[in-house]
Structure 1
Amino acid sequence: MGGPLRVAVVGSGPSGVYTAQALVERQGPPDVAVDVLDRLPCPYGLVRYGVAPDHEKIKSLQDTLRRVLEHPRVRFLGNVPVGRNAPNGVGTEELLSLYHAVVYCVGAAADRRLGIPGEDLPGSFSATDFVSWYSAHPDAAAYRFALGVRSAVVIGVGNVAVDVARFLAHDADELRGTDVPQAALDALAAGAPADVHVVGRRGPSQAKFTTKELRELDALPDAEAVVRREELELDPAYGAPDSLPAVARRNLGVLDGWARREPPGRARRVRLRFFLRPVEVLAGPEGAVRAVRFERTAPDGRGGVTGTGRYEEIPAELVLRSVGYRGVPLPGLPFDRTTGTVPHEAGRVLRDGAPSPGEYVAGWIKRGPTGVIGTNRSCAKETVRSLLEDADVLLGRRISDADPPTALRASGREPVGWRGWLDIERAEAELGRSLRRERVKIPDWEGLLAAARRAG
C-alpha cells in the first residue's frame, strides 16, 4: 500500500482533533499526513469558544488537543473557511483536488428558536450568542449585552442554560483570573442581575443538566439557588425516583435539598422554575423586553406536558433562550434537514444513497448535537476506521501535486499556521498583563489576524 495518504480534517474542535489523532497515532500503513482546517485563526473549537470561563478543568482539555496539533504529521491551517458561500471560502470540490480524503467535523452551529411573539425584542437573545460574547468569539465582537438589570430569564434547563445563569450570578472579581474578555468583565462589574430565573416547560426529572453543573449554581459566594417545592411535587417521579436514571435521581435530591432549607440570604438568587411554557416575550413602554409570559403546564401521563390555561409573568429586562442546537448545511455537501446531519454510513458521506469517494463526517454534523466532549473520540474512531478501509481506493484518486497551504496562498487565501496561533497566544498574554490580569482573549477578527501576522 502506498502513501502518504493526504487527509484534510475540517474543524479543530474535539471531534476534528480526535480524528487527526486517530489517523496519525495508529500503527501500520499507510503513512498519513493530516491538515486540520478551521475558519477561525484559533484552534480548539468549542473548548475555546463554548466552555464557561470558570470551568478551568474542562478548558485544560486544550493541552491534550494541543499535543495532537503539534504532532509532526499534523498541521494546523486556520483562517480557512470551507464552503462556496463563505467569503473567500474553499469549496468541497477544491478540497478533494488537494487531498485524498476530507473529513468534515463541523458542529451544529445554529440555535433553536422558541417561535413565540416578542422573541426578537431588544433584550431577547439566544444563549449561543451570549456564550460567544463572553467567550470572545470574533463573530460576536459587535454584540452588546447590558447586564445591569434587575431580573434575567434563561429559558431552558440544560447545561448551557446553567452556564449562562452561573455567569450572570458571578461577581466580576471572581472571573478576573480567567480569560474572559474585558468587555464582558466590565459589563458584569457594572451590575449583575439580582434574580436569574432558569425556566423549563417540563419537570425536574426531565431536565438535561448534569448534577455537577447544577450544584455549581449554589457554590458561588454571593449567589444562592432557590427552588419551589410545590413545583417539584408536580413531577410524578418526585415521590418515586427509583426508576429514574442515576443523574436524574441525583438532580432531584439536590433540588429537594434546596427546596427544604432556609435560604442562605446571599445577594443574588438563581431561581429554578419548572412546568412553565413560554408563550410571549412582553415589551415595555420603550419597546424593549420587560417580562416573559408563561403558561403553567402539567404532566400528560405520556412523558410530555399539556397546557393548563393558567399563566404567569416573570419580570425580566434580559431574556436568553437555550432550547437546543440544530445543524446547518455546508454548501457542497448533502444535508438531511430533518435530522440536521449529513447522510452517512459509518462516517462515509452518502450522495444519492451511495458512499462519496473521499468524503467523510465526524462529530455533531454526523450524529447531531448529542453526547459530551468524550463522545467525539469514539465517533471519530469509527469514521477513521471507514477511511482506512478505503485507503487503497483513496490513494488511487488523482490529486494536485501542490502543497495545500501553498495552493491556498496562491489563490489569495491567508491560512494561519501553528506559528501564527502561537503569536496569538503571546498577544493574549500581553493583553492580560496590560490589564493586570492573566491571559485575556482577543475578541475581534482584526486583532486576531494582526497578531497572527507577526509570524510572517
Structure 2
Amino acid sequence: MPENRPLRVAVIGSGPAGIYASDALTKANADVSIDIFERMPAPFGLIRYGVAPDHPRIKGIIKSLHKVLDKPQIRLFGNVNVGTDVTLADLKKLYDAVIYATGATDDQDLAIPGGEHTIGAGEFVGFYDANPDFEPKWDLSAPAVAVIGVGNVALDVARVLAKTGEELRVTEIPDNVYDSLKDNQATEVHVFGRRGPAQAKFTPLELKELNISDTIEIVVDPEDLQYDEASEDARRSSKIQDMVCTLLEQYAIADPKGAPHKLFIHFFESPVEVKTAPDGTVTALVTERTELTGTGRVTGTGKLTEWPVGSVYRAVGYKSDEQADLPWDADKNVLPNVGGRVLTTGPTADGIAGVPGSADPEAEKREVLPSVYTTGWVRRGPVGLIGNTKGDANETVANLLADAEAGRGFNPEHPELEATEQLLRERGLTWTTWDGWYALDKHERELGEAEGRERKKVREWDEMLRHSTTG
C-alpha cells in the first residue's frame, strides 16, 4: 500500500460492474481514491442503455448506484474514451491500479446461411434506449417478424415489437424513438428457441410481464411443452425454471383475449436459414424441428418449416469489445484473467507461476499484467445477473488489495488528484462530471414533466454534453 497518500485506482466503465467495484473498494479500504472513466457523456452503462424503457423497476437499480457515486472518494470522468483519448500507459503514471469494467454491447453472430441479414438485438435495444451510437430511426414496416433466442433480451425485443407506439410513449423514450414505434406494422412476433421450455433462459417476471399489455396475445403451442428426464430434473432443482414452465403452460391453455397483436413463443425450432429477395430483403426464416434426447439436449428431426417474416432479430448473446493495449481472448471475447487479474496471452519464460494464489494449473504458466484487473461481462462474458456482478467485483477488489499490500502496483509518477484533470486538459478533452449527471438528470426530468411523464431521455451526444457540467 502507498504511504502518506490514498490508494489511487482507475475504473474503466460506469455501468453496474464498475460502480460495484468502486463500492467494494471504498468499503474495504477507507483510504482510497477512485476515478471512474466513462466513454459516454452519461453514466450507468447498460442500466441506461440496455434496459427496455417499459421496465422502470429495473432502472430502480440506478438509485443504489447513485449512492455509490455520491461517495466523496469517487470522481466521474465522462466523455473520455480509454484507449484513444487516454491510454493504459497514461493511466500507469497516475494510478496504482486499473480495473476494466467495460461490459458487452456488440451482438454475437448467427452462423447460418443468410445470417448476415439478421438484426442484432443489441442494435434494436440501442435504438429504443436512445443510445447515440445507434441508428436514430428504425424500419418497422414488416407485418411479421422473428426473434431468435429464449433469454430476457429476446423477450424485451419481442415485447417492444409487439406493443404500440402509444403504449411506449408514456415511458422515457425521446421523440425519434416514438416516431418510429408509432408506425410499427408488426402484428405477428415469433420467438424461437432451439430447445424446450425447461431450457429457456427467461426469468418468470419477464415472462409474466408479456401479458400485461391489452394489445398482445401470447400464443404457446401445447405440443411445444415437452420434457425429458433431464428437463424434469431441471424443473425440480430450480424453482425459477419450474415457474417459467408453469407460466408457459398457462399461456398454452389460456382463452384467447382477442388482442390485435400476436406474440408466438416457439420451442424445438432451430434456425437453419434466412431467405431473402434479390435486393437482400428478408422474406422468410427456415427452422428445423428438434426433439429431446433424454439429456436435456436436442437433435434435429429433418422436418423444415418456412416462416414468412420480413425481419429476423438475433438475441443469441452479447460480446465485449476488444480493449486497446491489453491481451484478448478472441474465443470467449473477454480479457484473459484469473480471479479478475488480467493475464498475458502466453506462458512465462521460465514456467514459474505468475498468478498469486491461483489454483488453476494453466494460469500458473501465465503471467499477470501487474495491477491490471477486470470485472463484469468483459471478465466472464455476458452471463449472470446483478448478484454475479457484485460477486465478481468483490473478488477482483480482494485480489487488487492483496497485490497492493504486497507492493505489486504501478508506483505512479503523478498520483496527485489534480494530475488527472491536468492530463485531460493537455489533451484538449471536454469531460462530464458527477455534478454534470445531476444537471442532465434534472433536464431530462423537466422534459418529461412537461409531457406528463417521469423523464424524457436526451439522445444526442452534443445535447447531453451541453446540459452536463463539464471540465
Q: TM-score surpassing 0.5?
A: yes
- Offset from partner CA, 1:262-303 (integer Å, 9 cap, x none): 222211111000111111212246531122111111223443
Does residue 1:262 correspond to 2:278, yes or no?
no
State the distance in 2 between where 1:109 and 1:48 align. Answer: 12
What corresponds to 1:74 in structure 2? 74
Match of 1:210 among 191, 203, 209: 203
Q: CA deviation at 1:37?
A: 0.6
Change (3 A) 1:451 1:201: same
Amino acid at match of 1:361: T
Match of 2:21 among 4, 19, 22: 19
Match of 1:304 among 292, 297, 306: 297
1:421-432 alignment, distance < 5 Å: 421-432=437-448
Task: Between 93-102 and 437-446, report the one with greater CA deviation.
Answer: 437-446
Task: Between 329-338 and 39-48, report the one with greater CA deviation.
Answer: 329-338
Q: CA deviation at 1:167?
A: 1.1
State the distance in 2 between where 1:276 and 1:4 align. Answer: 56
What corresponds to 1:246 in structure 2? 239
Task: Between 71-80 and 361-370, report the one with greater CA deviation.
Answer: 361-370
Q: CA deviation at 1:446?
A: 2.5
- Offset from partner CA, 1:77-126 (integer Å, 9 cap, x none): 0011112xx4xx321111111111111111123211111222333xx311
Task: Between 144-153 and 358-367, report the one with greater CA deviation.
Answer: 144-153
TM-score with structure 1 length normalisation?
A: 0.92
Amino acid at match of 1:139: D
State the distance in 2 between where 1:292 and 1:20 align. Answer: 45
**3-state SS of paired residue (1:67):** helix
State the distance in 2 between where 1:396 and 1:425 align. Answer: 36
CA contact (8 A) 1:205 1:235 kept: no
Does residue 1:125 correspond to 2:141, yes or no?
no
Does residue 1:399 correspond to 2:395, yes or no?
no
**3-state SS of paired residue (1:163):** helix
CA contact (8 A) 1:203 1:275 kept: yes
CA contact (8 A) 1:100 1:399 kept: no
State the distance in 2 between where 1:212 and 1:186 align. Answer: 29
Change (3 A) 1:238 1:374: closer
State the distance in 1 between where 2:14 and 2:409 align. Answer: 24
What corresponds to 1:334 in structure 2? 327
Does residue 1:276 correspond to 2:292, yes or no?
no
What corresponds to 1:114 in structure 2? 110
Which structure 2 residue ranges, 5 or more long, are not aligned?
347-365
Amino acid at match of 1:187: S
CA contact (8 A) 1:153 1:316 kept: yes
CA contact (8 A) 1:148 1:188 kept: no
Q: CA deviation at 1:261?
A: 2.5
**3-state SS of paired residue (2:291):** strand
State the distance in 2 between where 1:80 and 1:244 align. Answer: 46
State the distance in 2 between where 1:92 and 1:239 align. Answer: 50
Does residue 1:447 correspond to 2:449, yes or no?
no
CA contact (8 A) 2:198 2:235 kept: no
What corresponds to 1:60 in structure 2? 60
CA contact (8 A) 1:139 1:444 kept: no
Amino acid at match of 2:120: S
State the distance in 1 between where 2:34 and 2:169 align. Answer: 37
State the distance in 1 between where 2:223 and 2:255 align. Answer: 16
Aligned-residue RMSD, C-alpha: 2.2
CA contact (8 A) 1:170 1:192 kept: no
What corresponds to 2:38 in structure 1? 38
1:130-149 alignment, distance < 5 Å: 130-140=124-134, 142-149=135-142
CA contact (8 A) 2:230 2:296 kept: no
Does residue 1:51 correspond to 2:51, yes or no?
yes
Amino acid at match of 1:413: L
Change (3 A) 1:33 1:240: closer
TM-score with structure 2 length normalisation?
A: 0.89
Amino acid at match of 1:108: A
State the distance in 2 between where 1:242 and 1:24 align. Answer: 40
State the distance in 1 between where 2:203 and 2:371 align. Answer: 38
CA contact (8 A) 2:142 2:186 kept: yes
State the distance in 2 between where 1:20 and 1:132 align. Answer: 26
State the distance in 2 between where 1:91 and 1:240 align. Answer: 50
Task: Between 46-55 and 382-391, report the one with greater CA deviation.
Answer: 382-391
Change (3 A) 1:355 1:314: same
**3-state SS of paired residue (1:329):** coil
What corresponds to 2:384 in structure 1? 371
What corresponds to 1:380 in structure 2? 393
**3-state SS of paired residue (1:196):** strand
Change (3 A) 1:269 1:366: same
- Offset from partner CA, 1:67-86 (integer Å, 9 cap, x none): 11121111010011112xx4
Amino acid at match of 2:207: L
What corresponds to 1:8 in structure 2? 10
State the distance in 1 between where 2:330 and 2:217 align. Answer: 41
Q: CA deviation at 1:207?
A: 0.7
Amino acid at match of 2:324: P
- Offset from partner CA, 1:182-215 (integer Å, 9 cap, x none): 2222222223511111101111111111111111
State the distance in 1 between where 2:389 and 2:457 align. Answer: 26
Which structure 1 residue ranges, 5 or more long, are not aligned?
none
CA contact (8 A) 1:5 1:395 kept: no
Q: CA deviation at 1:250?
A: 1.4
Q: CA deviation at 1:9?
A: 0.5
Does residue 1:190 correspond to 2:192, yes or no?
no
What corresponds to 1:290 in structure 2? 283
State the distance in 2 between where 1:214 and 1:91 align. Answer: 43
Match of 1:95 among 91, 102, 108: 91
Task: Between 142-151 and 106-115, report the one with greater CA deviation.
Answer: 142-151
Change (3 A) 1:230 1:330: same
- Offset from partner CA, 1:329-367 (integer Å, 9 cap, x none): 212111222332222232222224122222111111222
Does residue 1:315 correspond to 2:319, yes or no?
no
Does residue 1:414 correspond to 2:416, yes or no?
no
CA contact (8 A) 2:53 2:129 kept: yes
Amino acid at match of 1:131: V
Task: Between 433-442 and 443-452, report the one with greater CA deviation.
Answer: 433-442
State the distance in 2 between where 1:234 and 1:365 align. Answer: 34
State the distance in 1 between where 2:247 and 2:223 align. Answer: 15
Q: How many residues were matched structurally?
A: 446
**3-state SS of paired residue (1:390):** helix
